[in-house]
Structure formats: C-alpha cells, structure tokens
Amino acid sequence: MAADALSEVLRAVRLTGAVFFRLEAREPWVAETPPSADCAPFVMPGAQHVIEYHVIHSGSCWAGPVGTEPVRMEAGDIIAFPQGDPHVLSSTPGLRQVPDLAIYREAATAGLPFSCRLGAEGAPTACIICGFLGCDARPFNPLLEALPRMLHLRARPGHGGSWLGHLAGAAMAESLARRIGGEVILARLSELMFAELIRHHVEAMPAEETGWFAALRDPHVGRALNLLHGRPAAPWTLDALARDAALSRSSLAERFTRLVGHPPMQYLARWRMQLAAGLLADSGHQVARVAAEVGYDSEAAFSRAFHKLVGMPPAAWRRSCDRSAPRPA
C-alpha cells in the first residue's frame, strides 16, 4: 500500500484528542477564549500545542479570531483555530468578553465532558460542542505551518460533509450519555473530526494555491512527499527521488521548493528530526538506535544534525520531554 504523507504526519506529530465542553447558551451570550497556550495547562497538560474547535449542534452563532470579521455558524457547521488564536463565539457580531480561565480550571478537576450555560435563563437557543486537540509543534510540524488561522466547514446535508456530521452527532451523543470509557471515545472522535476537516480543506483549495497541502495534490511533488514519508530512513538522493517522482532533477527541485517551501533534501532532514524527536521522547532507545531508525549511519553525524536543526543535543531534548510529558487532564 502506498504511503500517505498526511496520515504519516498526523501520526508523527502525536495528534491527541482531549477534553470536550458542551456549551448551552440563550441569547444574548458571548464566550471569548484566550490563546490556546493559556488554557493548555488545564485541558492538555504537557502538550506542545493545542488546537480548539467547535461544532454547532443546534441553533446558530457568530465566530472568528479576535480582531477579525466573524462568520455566521449554523447547525452542523464546524470551525477550528489551528494556530491557537484567541477567538470569540457570540449570539450577535461584535459582542466581547474578558476571557476567564476559571472554566478551564474547573473542567480540569470535574468529570468530563464538562457542561456550562451562558446567557439568560430559559431553554438554550444554541448548543455547541467545544473540543481540543494536542500535537507536537517542534521541531518540525509541516501540518501546522500549512494550516490557516481558521478552518470553517459549513454543513451540507447529503454532500461530502455528511461523514463529518455523523462524527459530530456521535460526539454530542457521547457527551450527553456520560458512559464509561467516554473520555477515550470522545478523544478518538475529536481526532477523526479534525482529520476529516483537513481533508475537506485540501479538497476545497483553489488550483493555484501553494503550500504543503497543495503539494500533496500535485501528482509529482505529492508522490515525492509520500515516498519521503513512507521511507524516511532510505538513502535518498535528489536524483533517486526525481526518478521515482517521474520528473527531472531540476524540475522536481524547483517544483517541490515552490510548493512546499523547502528543497526536497532539506525537507527530509527536518522531517527526520521530527521523527527522531518523537522517538527520543517516547522510547528508551539509545541515541545510536534512534539515529539508525531515521537514516543516519553515524551517531555523531546524527547528533550534529539534530543539534543544528533542533537547537539542542538529543540527550537534552529527551530530558526536556521528560519534564513536560503530557498528563491526563
């Protein structure tokens, strides 16, 4: 089976779903979130980066990063903030509120999923699922580099978004049921919804778009990326990669660099360091074994490359990960 670069990246950056909030609101209401880095210690302790997203289960609202024009959200819509921007959800455009970390502190100690109500008394006019995803941002996450500040997928009954709608419905049902094992189920649903959201984003991109996602769609550069991610430890050269991607050496180098933002061999070196960083953090392997698993014959050469690209020796990286290992919220 051919390698799938997107799947390999999602695995290697350790995408992990976590806490769900269920927000029930009655007009007028507003919820303003701080940068995800501020709430990460409460909802995903130890995660390098936290992505927040929201699914409109019923009703409607307005949403967007702070300082931008909000978009209208209807039932079935999904919105995500991959870069961790502070953002606002409200019943009416222009409403603001001072972000309050108390709700995240409370969620960290309460049973999950966590429910809260906003606005006036009475039956809610909007019900929203709020989810969180943690991932590695360092040393190299091409996914985060390529994602915009906001992803918004509108509900399209009977079209390609139906699978995503089923996932969102399952998440809502699980959050209401509060059955045993619910946290694990919600975490996996969170990861599935984000992966599906990315697929819709890639499929909707204009043909003239550049960037890592556009590179995945290119028949030659996409094949080159799949080859590099499928066999990162192979002794790749630009000539060998160009031959397998069915392009000339110069054409692949130009096309790859224009779309991805890095020359092929530089991209491979950075990706190897991402894989090595994960192995150092998650395993007790000796540095020499980690070096071999990512394509280096010499421990010394690997250590030099790691230090150059990551900014610290492999042993120092491992110690830093031991101090910040993710813990359950």
pLDDT the model gives residue 200: 85
Largest CA distance in the chain: 68
Contacts for 101-106: CB closer than 8 Å, 24+ residues apart? 101/34, 101/38, 101/39, 101/42, 103/21, 104/39, 104/42, 104/43, 105/42
Coil, helix or strand at residue 72 = strand
Tell whether 68 is covered by a domain.
Answer: yes
Spell out the per-residue pLDDT of the chain, length 329, in tens.
345 888 889 888 888 876 678 889 999 999 999 999 998 888 888 889 999 999 898 999 999 999 999 999 999 899 999 999 999 999 999 899 888 888 888 777 765 567 788 888 888 889 998 888 999 998 999 999 899 999 998 876 544 445 777 777 777 777 677 777 777 887 888 888 888 888 888 888 888 888 999 999 999 999 999 999 999 999 999 999 999 999 999 999 999 999 999 999 999 999 999 999 999 988 778 999 999 999 999 999 999 999 999 999 999 999 888 755 444 33
Last residue of a domain, one of 204, 233, 262: 204
What CATH number is associated with residue 57?
2.60.120
Q: Are 118 and 190 in contact (CB under 8 A)?
A: no
Alpha helices in 60-218 (DSSP H): 102-109, 142-146, 162-177, 182-204, 212-217
Last residue of a domain, one of 186, 204, 222: 204
What CATH number is associated with residue 284?
1.10.10.60
CA-based nearest residue to 155, from 166, 170, 147, 145: 166
How far apart are the C-alpha atoms of 76 and 54, rounded to whole Å? 10
Q: How many domains does the chain have?
A: 2
How far apart are the C-alpha atoms of 156 and 154, rounded to whole Å? 6
pLDDT the model gives residue 114: 75
Domain that holds residue 231: 213-323
For 13, the enclosing helix (H) or strand (E) is: none
pLDDT the model gives residue 51: 94
Q: Which residues pair with 237 in a beta bridge?
A: none
Q: What is the spatial order of strands in the sheet that 30-33 belongs to?
A: 30-33, 87-90, 60-65, 71-74
**Which backbone phi and psi does 55 adopt, to 5 degrees?**
-115, 125
Tell whether 99 is covered by a domain.
Answer: yes
142 and 217 share one domain:
no
**Which backbone phi and psi does 116 adopt, to 5 degrees?**
-150, 155
How far apart are the C-alpha atoms of 132 and 108, rounded to whole Å? 13
127 and 159 share one domain:
yes
Tell whether 262 is covered by a domain.
Answer: yes
264 and 162 share one domain:
no
180 and 266 share one domain:
no
How far apart are the C-alpha atoms of 273 and 287, rounded to whole Å? 12
109 and 185 share one domain:
yes
How far apart are the C-alpha atoms of 65 and 88, rounded to whole Å? 6
196 and 218 share one domain:
no
Tell whether 123 is covered by a domain.
Answer: yes
Cα 176 to chain centroid, rounded: 25
Tell whether 88 is covered by a domain.
Answer: yes
238 and 108 share one domain:
no
Last residue of a domain, one of 204, 232, 259: 204
How far apart are the C-alpha atoms of 36 and 266, rounded to whole Å? 30
169 and 302 share one domain:
no
180 and 273 share one domain:
no
Cα 318 to chain centroid, rounded: 23
Coil, helix or strand at residue 1 = coil
Tell whether 39 is covered by a domain.
Answer: yes
Neighbours of 2 (CB within 10 A): 7
Tell whether 328 is covered by a domain.
Answer: no
CA-based nearest residue to 21, from 133, 169, 128: 128
pLDDT the model gives residue 327: 41
Tell whether 182 is covered by a domain.
Answer: yes
How far apart are the C-alpha atoms of 171 and 131, rounded to whole Å? 10
57 and 184 share one domain:
yes
269 and 150 share one domain:
no
223 and 198 share one domain:
no
